[in-house]
Amino acid sequence: LKCFGLVRSARVMDHMDHMDHHHHHGNMDMAGNVTEEVFCLGDGQVMNNGFQIAIGSAQPCALFLFPGWVVDTPAKYFGACFAAFLMPTVIVLIQILREKVLESSKNSSRTFGLDALAAAWYGLQMMFAYFLMLLAMLFETGIFLCICFGFVASFLLLQRYKRYKGVTGEKVAMDGAPCCAL
């Protein structure tokens, strides 16, 4: 069935049946018929075949990290792009907190507790880094560009913060790049 396109046709029909049982979100044409404006198609997909944009009645909807988080409206698409833009900043903020904990452990007798706290922060930092990797693997153009712009903005914020704190040179680089730095 899949190779003949029948599975996709069945999904479209199921989607249309589902919409018929609920209220319509569309415009009325001159004849009084309701025309559907579908943001995207389906119940969420990961890993497109190359970069695409998940907007349009023929494009599959993106699934944002978790089942049920389907990006199927303009507001959800904006929210997904905004979240993807902010995630690198979250990574940088966690990195700053982790560095503060490690710095305070240098002058403390409670090093195990502070090292454990720094390890927990590092684990959280890596979780967000892998979330970004998974979002990049959606191959959804808008979300991918927001991730890239988010890394640029967060690096700039980190550099400005470190310059404000008086740290220069190689210490300005971001630790914990997604998937690579362990």
The end-to-end CA distance of the chain, in Å, is: 44
Whether the per-residue pLDDT at 11 is higher than 50: the answer is no
DSSP SS3 for 134: helix
| Amino acid residing at 135 | L
Strands 60-63 and 41-45: parallel
Residue 174 or residue 56, greater confidence: 56
Distance CA 136, CA 144 (A): 5
Residue 119 or residue 165, greater confidence: 119
Residue 182 or residue 38, greater confidence: 38
Give the model's confidence band at 19: pLDDT under 50 very low, under 70 low, under 90 confident, else very high: very low
Distances (CA, A) of 130 to 14, 38, 133, 178: 34, 31, 5, 6
Angle at 79 between CA 97 and CA 93, to 5 degrees: 5
Give the model's confidence band at 17: pLDDT under 50 very low, under 70 low, under 90 confident, else very high: very low
